[in-house]
Amino acid sequence: MNLPSEQITINLGPQHPSTHGVFRLRVTLDGEVITDVEPIFGYLHRGTEKLAEERTYTQIVTLTDRLDYTSSMINNQAYVLAVEKLAGVTVPPRGQYLRVLTAELQRIASHLMGVGFFLQDLGASGTPLMYCFRERERILDLFEMLCGARVTVSYMRPGGVFQEPPPEFWPAVRHLLDTTPDAIAELERLISENEIVLARSKGVGVLTKEKAIDCAISGPNLRASGVAWDLRKADPYDVYADMDFAVPVGSNGDSYDRFLVRVMEVHQSIRIAEQCYRDMPGGPVRSELPFFFRPPPGDAYAHVEASKGELGFYLVSDGGIAPYRCKIRSPSFINLTVLAEMLLGWKVADLMVIFGSLDVNMGEVDR
Amino acid sequence: MTRALQTAELVERLQGVAAEAVTVAAEGEVRVAPESLVAVCRFLKEEPEFAMDYLSSITGVDYLDFFEVVYHLTSLTHNHSLVLKTTLHGRDDVSAPSLTEVWEAADLQEREVWDLMGVRFTGHPNLKRVLTWEGFPGHPLRKDHLGG
């Protein structure tokens, strides 16, 4: 029997519980199969790059918090590194260690959110996400001790970090490092070999190595496709060159690998944080810079391995107190290059799994 | 550590691809005339010695007298990097050739530069605005954009 059929176009979002922010997809379906996808975004565009042109170099730190708001510390770090490169500022060792320590704690928090929401997108409502959030909360408590803020931290400054941690910070870090590995292991027991997780994500939304490189995909999404590229190793900044850690890679580039790479990276981040705690040098945390400080005319690009991938800042100075141009190379934005192609041919039920596995943050996409 | 390519040698090699069109901008930076951009990029990507397989970033800068488009290239194979700069004149109708044929990574990034800076990329398959909406007046990152 021949049934008449026609394709339908549906609109997903902009405010859909699984779109990780205000993101919209125009999806064309043939039955349940996706035949065309157009991602539409910009709903959270705040003109960060334009705002930066009217603020001093120190004030801009607060704007970077609001890019990928799940990893503010790392955003701060990318930005201050670019300013330091532009102005030729050196950072005292204790400042560098504190930056690496806080950046790695932030990476754990961000990856836990990525993993938690991915599981939520799979339909595991509540429980696994709350396991992830429980651990993330403990990290945010530490940030609160450092600077009074939990999410929009603005902890780093050109030349180092804002201030010396209070005495109660160190025992709290020790406790976190002692207990988090068990908590992650518990999450892994619950999830990693779970039948439903495997069935829904193994082989789903495969991104090949060649495609990933050609589209400049970065971060865990690139490594899940089997490319061992991590800027902490490939182009070390702050004190990463002294850190001993591994770069986990996937083999299939599917949604499951992207999930697994994040979980493995959490373990590596704990390893790095442990080394920072052990080797933390004394001395000042910041080189003092004048309040209105003027880098010489010129340009500089600095990049870091953020939790979502390569986060870069390209700054142009005309010798004034504010940058002439501040470009943000956002990993989530560029990671979306490949989304439409990854979704073609999959069922509508797989759409949120694939999108969730990319761990995109809209604050950073729209800027 | 990612190594910046030696630009003097590189420019000499590039004379075969586009004589006169390539000059040293600074150490690790090369200035390319817009009309030779695609040929130079294809050469840098395909020549095994350079293997610039990864287009990290595309930036547009408005210097009022001219626009500059900056390309940050990386080779994941050799772990070296290069900055390409191209100068574009004019204000009402500024255009550069699209690199989408060389790297797919140029797709969204060129759309962003078009949207916010108003540089048109000829040959781009889908050059629509990406962060603002169709009908948005002007290009907000231009220095003479006053909003409204």
- Whether the CB-CB separation of B120 and B95 falls below 8 Å is answered with yes
Q: Which amino acid is at B129?
A: R
pLDDT over threshold 90, residue B15: no
pLDDT for residue A325: 93
pLDDT tens for A304-344 read: 999 999 999 999 999 999 999 999 999 999 999 999 889 99
pLDDT over threshold 70, residue A73: yes
Share of chain A above pLDDT 90, in %: 58
- Distance, in Å, from the CA atom of B58 to the CA atom of B139, rounded to the nearest integer, reads 16
- Distance, in Å, from the CA atom of B82 to the CA atom of B44, rounded to the nearest integer, reads 10
Q: Does A312 touch chain B (CB under 8 A)?
A: yes
What is the reported pTM? 0.90
- Whether the CB-CB separation of A110 and A71 falls below 8 Å is answered with yes
- Distance, in Å, from the CA atom of A128 to the CA atom of A134, rounded to the nearest integer, reads 10
H or E segment at B56? strand B54-62
Taking the mean position of all CA atoms in its chain, how far away is CA A50?
Answer: 22
- Distance, in Å, from the CA atom of A229 to the CA atom of A133, rounded to the nearest integer, reads 28
- Distance, in Å, from the CA atom of A18 to the CA atom of A44, rounded to the nearest integer, reads 16
pLDDT for residue B47: 87
pLDDT for residue A16: 67
User: Residues A129, A170, A67, B108: is their CA dihedral positive or negative?
Assistant: negative
pLDDT tens for A240-296 read: 999 999 999 999 999 999 999 999 999 999 999 999 999 999 899 998 888 788 999
Confidence class of residue B10 from pLDDT cuts 50, 70 and 90?
A: confident
* Interchain pair B1, A236: CB under 8 A: yes
Mean pLDDT of chain B: 88
* Interchain pair A327, B59: CB under 8 A: yes
- Whether the CB-CB separation of A285 and A161 falls below 8 Å is answered with yes
pLDDT for residue A178: 93
For residue B80, the cross-strand partners are B3, B75
* Interchain pair B131, A42: CB under 8 A: yes
**Torsions phi, psi for A319 (to 5 deg):** 90, 5
* Interchain pair B57, A314: CB under 8 A: yes
Mean pLDDT of chain A: 90
Average pLDDT on A341-360 reads: 88
- Ordered DSSP codes for A11-33: EE-SS-TTSSSS-EEEEEEETTE
* Interchain pair A337, B108: CB under 8 A: yes
Q: What is the DSSP letter of A319?
A: S
pLDDT for residue A124: 77
Write out A113-150 in H/E/C secondary structure. Answer: HHHHHHHHHHCCCCHHHHHHHHHHHHHHHHHHHHHCCC
- Whether the CB-CB separation of A287 and A91 falls below 8 Å is answered with yes
Task: Select from B103, B89, B58 the least CA-distant residue to A327.
Answer: B58
- Nearest Cβ partner of B105 from A215, A229, A299? A215
CA angle, residues B102, A331, A54, in degrees to nearest 5? 105
- Distance, in Å, from the CA atom of A273 to the CA atom of A262, rounded to the nearest integer, reads 16
Confidence class of residue A130 from pLDDT cuts 50, 70 and 90?
A: confident
pLDDT over threshold 90, residue B93: no
pLDDT for residue A198: 86
H or E segment at B87? strand B80-88
Q: Which amino acid is at B94?
A: V
More confident residue, B20 or B88: B88
Interface predicted TM-score (ipTM) of this complex, two decimals:
0.89
Q: Which amino acid is at A253?
A: G
Closest residue of chain A to B70, computed from CA coordinates: A314
pLDDT for residue A10: 86
- Distance, in Å, from the CA atom of B6 to the CA atom of B8, rounded to the nearest integer, reads 6
pLDDT for residue A97: 94
pLDDT over threshold 60, residue B4: yes
Average pLDDT on A232-239 reads: 92
For residue A337, list chain B residues with Cβ-Cβ distance below 8 A.
Answer: 104-105, 107-108
Taking the mean position of all CA atoms in its chain, how far away is CA A98?
Answer: 19
Task: Select from B97, B72, B93 the least CA-distant residue to B84.
Answer: B72
Q: Does B133 touch chain A (CB under 8 A)?
A: yes
- Distance, in Å, from the CA atom of B76 to the CA atom of A250, rounded to the nearest integer, reads 17
* Interchain pair A234, B79: CB under 8 A: yes
* Interchain pair A337, B132: CB under 8 A: no
Which residues touch A275 (CB under 8 Å, ≥6 apart)?
A242, A243, A244
pLDDT for residue A232: 93
Peptide bond before B125: cis, by omega within 30 degrees of 0? no
Angle between helix axes A255-279 and A348-357 (nearest 10 degrees) is 20
- Whether the CB-CB separation of B70 and A314 falls below 8 Å is answered with yes
Q: Does B130 touch chain A (CB under 8 A)?
A: yes
pLDDT over threshold 90, residue A171: yes
Average pLDDT on B75-90 reads: 91
Q: Does B114 touch chain A (CB under 8 A)?
A: no
For residue B29, the cross-strand partners are B26, B83
pLDDT for residue A104: 94
pLDDT over threshold 70, residue A18: no
What's chain B's Rg over C-alpha atoms? Answer: 16
Confidence class of residue B59 from pLDDT cuts 50, 70 and 90?
A: very high
CA distance A299 to chain B (A): 11
pLDDT tens for A173-230 read: 999 999 999 988 888 888 878 888 888 888 898 999 999 999 999 999 999 999 999 9
- Whether the CB-CB separation of A321 and A60 falls below 8 Å is answered with no
Interface of A with B in 215-274 (CB under 8 A): 215-216, 227, 229, 234-236, 241
pLDDT for residue B147: 59
pLDDT over threshold 80, residue A102: yes
Mutant choice from B102, B130, B132, B134 vs A, greatest count of A C-beta within 10 A:
B130
3-state helix, strand, coil in chain B (%, to 5): 20, 30, 45
- Distance, in Å, from the CA atom of B63 to the CA atom of B66, rounded to the nearest integer, reads 5
Task: Select from B69, B72, B70, B126 the least CA-distant residue to B95.
Answer: B69
Confidence class of residue A76 from pLDDT cuts 50, 70 and 90?
A: very high
pLDDT for residue A201: 87
pLDDT for residue A17: 61
- Distance, in Å, from the CA atom of A363 to the CA atom of A22, rounded to the nearest integer, reads 9
Interface of B with A in 60-79 (CB under 8 A): 61-62, 70, 72, 76, 79
pLDDT over threshold 70, residue A68: yes
Q: Does B41 touch chain A (CB under 8 A)?
A: no
pLDDT over threshold 60, residue A50: yes
Confidence class of residue A137 from pLDDT cuts 50, 70 and 90?
A: very high
Q: Does A174 touch chain B (CB under 8 A)?
A: no
pLDDT for residue A199: 86
For residue A214, list chain B residues with Cβ-Cβ distance below 8 A.
Answer: 53, 103-105
